[in-house]
Structure 1
Amino acid sequence: MAKLILLDIDGTLRDERFGVPESIPKVLKLCKKRHHKIGLCTGRGIGMIQDDVKKLNIETLIAGGGSYIFHEGVVIKDESFDWKNMDKFWNSLLMIETKIACSLESNEKIFMNQGAVDILNEMNRRKCKNLTNEQRQFFKQGQTIIYENNFKQFHARLHPIHKICLWCQPDEFQKIKNIIGVQNIVLAQKGNWGHYHYYEIIKKGSNKGNAIEQLCEYMEIDRKDTIAFGDGKNDIDMFKSSGIGIAMRNSDAELLTFADSVCETPMEDGIYKELKRRSLI
């Protein structure tokens, strides 16, 4: 039976330090031979997908955490927050931006204030800490995001936003939810960074799970015939909506509780080995 195999990008299909493993083109070739369909399912906007991933020429894509669906030349879904709410939120944040670190993600561009720039640069610095100079250079070349304080360049009508990332305190987060509209949003992920709480907000009804259901309906594929590979908290909904959920060995602990099985890391050829074990390739 042919399957729809959905792959998260960062930490699943691709290693940030080393890129796409050499086994992946072989996986794609073998899947095609067995009539399986391959799709990407990422939190990244379409403009932030790395070049080595684009070169794989995968024609099925769920991007923006579920806000955008594309299949073989057809855009099935392209949703974003209401621009009026985003304009109100943006203006309110300009007045208190020193207190709240924020990034706004559209399909093609990310807008961030200085607080977000500082945090994201520090995250990247820590990721590169134990790398060789060659590995560090490869990591930098693979970055598709420009880390600059361009927050004031945002225009709500011109840049539809599908994801908001916030580093702030819980009381500040509650105020922001009220501005955007509590009924319109859901948390894709949350966590901690230093003394900040981290909140990743997406539009209600636009998570990876909803997108998989819509894609399956469009492709006329039963969801029990889908296999999802992921590694992060925002892949939980993807696992819930798929027939089988496979977590990478280095996955988020919460995601592991929803996984049907665990495979090796990207650079250990986890996707290839798991599909082999299941006799799918």
Structure 2
Amino acid sequence: MGKIIFLDIDGTLCNDVGVVPASAKQAIIQAYENGHRFYLCTGRSKAEISEEVLDLPISGIIGAGGGYCEVDGEVILHQVFDSNELKKLIGFLEEHRVEYYLESNQGLFASANLKSRLIQLTLGDAKEDSAEGQEKIAAINWFLNLLIDDPSLIDYEDVNKVSFVNHSIPYEVIEAEYDGDFYMLRSTVPAFGPDSGEIGIKGINKKTAIETLLKHIQRDKEDCLAFGDGNNDLVMFEAVGTGIAMGNAKDELKAAADEITLTHDEGGIAHTLAKLDYVKL
């Protein structure tokens, strides 16, 4: 029987510009053909997962940091915010001029100035109308195009995570206000900045979702591997038999890993799958 392999997306399956390296694509396809099964395990909500990723032979998705789970197209878990608590949280972020987007399976709903902030962060010192600037913006257009900026379309009963892009107040101020009520962690997207982060539902994380998924498919922890790069993957490693940290992973995750592989662009996923004899390179 093949192994169950969980894949984080940002910084693991995808590189820093959101692209899946060719080595990872080829190895995943070959390992799937050899009987192994892959599940995404990501902080992204389903609406935020690119077609490039979904076109891989993926058997299921854990999204929203554990708040959503589907297996072979069947939704087996979907946890959402209490709408009143969510509105209070949004009020706090807006009061402190923190940009954000609400994540749901219906889409990503952006705060008023989020798109312009993301463009500013992406451009850096480049001019928007320069060739360099246009190239930088083109690289994030896939994400900008996902953002819905019409607040009348938001269903506050169907939001499973909030991501915030913050350059106004220290992360610790938001954490002090909400960490007891929600599950909080710093953003795994470096471009968002060190004071940015994610807010999820308390008691829900990648570990709890993996445990739900494994019970559903009747497989054991020891049958599982997981690839990750961020500190939100620490709990994912607790839920599997073997945790594999990417070469570009945070030091804390490397310390907790059973194995450390190469970086995403160096072919880390393919390297380890070949080392385990799941594929032939």
Q: Under TM normalisation by the shorter chain, which class is it?
A: 0.7 to 0.9
Mapped to 1, the partners of 2:171 and 2:140 lie a distance apart of 33
| Match in the other structure for 1:4 | 4
Does structure 1 retain, via aligned residues, the 8 Å contact 2:126–2:133?
A: no
Show the counterpart of 1:87: 87
Q: For 1:12-48, what per-residue CA distance to the aligned partner results, in whole angstroms no more than 9, with x for missing partners? A: 1122437222223432333234321111111111111
- The aligned residue for residue 217 of structure 1 is 215
Deviates more, 1:235-244 or 1:109-118: 109-118
Using the aligned pairs only, state the percent identity.
Answer: 28
**Which residue of the partner structure matches residue 56 of structure 1?**
56
1: CA distance between counterparts of 2:106 and 2:26?
Answer: 30
Q: Deviations over 1:127-157 (max 9, x none)?
A: 999x97897476235x334487938547453
Alignment of 1:70-85 (within 5 A): 70-85=70-85
Match of 2:170 in 1: 169
Decide whether the 8 Å contact of 2:161 with 2:198 is kept in 1: no
Number of residue-to-residue matches in the alignment = 273
Q: Which amino acid aligns with 1:188?
A: L
1:228 Cα shift? 0.4
The secondary structure found in structure 1 opposite 2:213 is: helix
Q: How large is the Cα RMSD of the aligned pairs?
A: 3.5
Counterpart-to-counterpart distance in 2, 1:88 and 1:199: 17
Gaps in structure 2 of 5+ consecutive residues: none
Task: Name 1:157's counterpart in structure 2.
Answer: 156
8 Å CA contact retained: 2:37, 2:58: no
Structure 1 residue corresponding to 2:185, chosen from 185, 188, 204: 188
Confirm or deny: 8 A CA contact 1:103 1:110 kept in the other structure.
Answer: yes
Partner residue, 2:277: 279
TM-score by length of 2: 0.81
Query: SS in structure 1 opposite 2:156?
Result: coil
> Are the equivalent residues in 1 in contact too, given 2:64–2:160 (CA < 8 A)?
no
Query: Is the CA contact (8 Å cut-off) linking 1:16 and 1:139 kept in structure 2?
Result: no
Paired with 2:54 and 2:160, the residues of 1 have a C-alpha distance of: 22
Asked if 2 retains the 8 angstrom alpha-carbon contact of 1:240 and 1:258, the reply is no
1:208–1:237 contact (8 Å) kept in structure 2:
yes
Contact 1:17 1:135 in 2 (8 A): no
Distance 1:183 1:134, change over 3 A: closer
Rate the CA distance shift 1:149–1:127 in 2: closer, same or farther, 3 A.
farther
The residue aligned with 2:229 is 231
TM-score, normalised to structure 1's length? 0.81
Change (3 A) 1:164 1:39: same
What is the correspondence of 1:112-131 to structure 2 with a 5 Å cutoff? 112-113=110-111, 116-117=114-115, 119-125=117-123
CA distance in 2, matches of 1:219, 1:127: 50
Change (3 A) 1:171 1:21: closer
Contact 1:228 1:242 in 2 (8 A): yes
Determine the C-alpha separation between the residues in 1 that align with 2:262 and 2:132.
Answer: 23
Unaligned runs of 5+ in 1: none
The amino acid of 2:270's aligned partner reads Y
Residue 109 of structure 1, aligned match among 90, 103, 107: 107
